[in-house]
Amino acid sequence: MAKVLCVLYDDPVNGMPKKYARDGVPEITSYPGGQTAPTPDAIDFTPGELLGSVSGELGLRRFLESQGHTLVVTSDKDGPDSVFERELHDAEVVISQPFWPAYLTAERIAKAPKLKLALTAGIGSDHVDLQAAIERGVTVAEVTYCNSISVAEHVVMMILSQVRNYLPSHEWVKKGGWNIADCVERAYDLEGMHVGTVAAGRIGIAVLRRLKPFDVKLHYTDRHRLSAEIERELNLTWHDSVESMVKVCDIVTINCPLHPETEHLFNEKMISKMKRGAYIVNTARGKICDRDAIVHALETGQLAGYAGDVWFPQPAPRDHPWRTMPHQGMTPHTSGTTLSAQTRYAAGTREILECWFGERPIRDEYLIVDGGKLAGTGAHSYSAGNATKGSEEASRFKVA
Ligand code: NDP
Instruction: Answer whether residue 400 shows pLDDT above 60.
Output: no
What pLDDT score was predicted for residue 394?
A: 87
Ligand 1 centroid–CA 199 distance in Å is: 6
What pLDDT score was predicted for residue 399?
A: 63
- As beta bridge partners, residue 374 has 369
Kindly state whether residues 301 and 363 are assigned to the same domain. Answer: no
Kindly state whether residues 269 and 318 are assigned to the same domain. Answer: yes
Kindly state whether residues 60 and 83 are assigned to the same domain. Answer: yes
Provide the CATH number for the domain around residue 311: 3.40.50.720
Reported as a pLDDT band with limits 50, 70 and 90, residue 343 is very high
Give the residue among 248, 147, 160, 247 at the shortest CA–CA distance from 202. 147
Ligand 1 centroid–CA 201 distance in Å is: 6
Kindly state whether residues 175 and 201 are assigned to the same domain. Answer: yes
Annotate 122-136 with DSSP letters as a single string.
Answer: SS--TTB-HHHHHHH
Domain boundary among 330, 345, 368: 330
Kindly state whether residues 271 and 142 are assigned to the same domain. Answer: no
Mutate which of 223, 238, 242 for ligand 1? The one with the most ligand atoms within 8 Å of its CB, which is: 223
Kindly state whether residues 189 and 239 are assigned to the same domain. Answer: yes
253 is in an annotated binding site: no
Burial class, 113, CB count within 10 angstroms (exposed 0-12 / middle 13-18 / buried 19+) = exposed
What pLDDT score was predicted for residue 338?
A: 98
Q: Which residues contact 356 (CB under 8 A, 6 or more apart)?
A: 93, 117, 362
Q: Is 112 within a domain?
A: yes
**What is the CB neighbour count within 10 angstroms for residue 379?**
16
Alpha-carbon torsion, ordered 30, 36, 38, 42, to 10 deg: 90
Kindly state whether residues 119 and 163 are assigned to the same domain. Answer: no
Cα 292 to Cα 286: distance, rounded to the nearest angstrom: 12
What pLDDT score was predicted for residue 397?
A: 86
Reported as a pLDDT band with limits 50, 70 and 90, residue 398 is confident
Q: Which atom of ligand 1 is nearest to the CA of 258?
A: 34
Out of 333, 344, 350, 363, the active site residue is: 333
Range of the domain at 348: 3-146+337-392
By percentage, how much of the chain surpasses pLDDT 90?
95
Helix (H) or strand (E) holding 141, with range, is strand 139-142
pTM of the model: 0.97
Q: Is the CB of 336 under 6 A from ligand 1?
A: yes
Q: Is 83 within a domain?
A: yes
DSSP assignment, residue 38? Answer: P
Q: Is 399 within a domain?
A: no
Question: Are 164 and 146 spatial neighbours (Cβ–Cβ below 8 Å)?
Answer: no
Assess whether 350 carries a catalytic annotation. no
Cα 234 to Cα 227: distance, rounded to the nearest angstrom: 11
What pLDDT score was predicted for residue 392?
A: 87
Cα 120 to Cα 38: distance, rounded to the nearest angstrom: 14
Kindly state whether residues 9 and 76 are assigned to the same domain. Answer: yes
Instruction: Answer whether residue 98 shows pLDDT above 60.
Output: yes
Give the mean pLDDT of 53-59: 98
Ligand 1 centroid–CA 127 distance in Å is: 14
Q: Is the CB of 377 under 6 A from ligand 1?
A: yes
Kindly state whether residues 193 and 173 are assigned to the same domain. Answer: yes
Q: How many domains does the chain have?
A: 2
Q: Fill in the amino acid letter for 73.
A: V
Q: Is 398 within a domain?
A: no
- Report the mean per-residue pLDDT for the chain: 97
CA atoms within 13 A on the CB side of 276: 3
Q: Fill in the amino acid letter for 45.
A: F
Kindly state whether residues 261 and 291 are assigned to the same domain. Answer: yes
Question: Are 298 and 292 spatial neighbours (Cβ–Cβ below 8 Å)?
Answer: no
Instruction: Answer whether residue 19 shows pLDDT above 90.
Output: yes
Q: Is 380 within a domain?
A: yes
Three-state DSSP class for 262?
coil
Cα 372 to Cα 374: distance, rounded to the nearest angstrom: 7
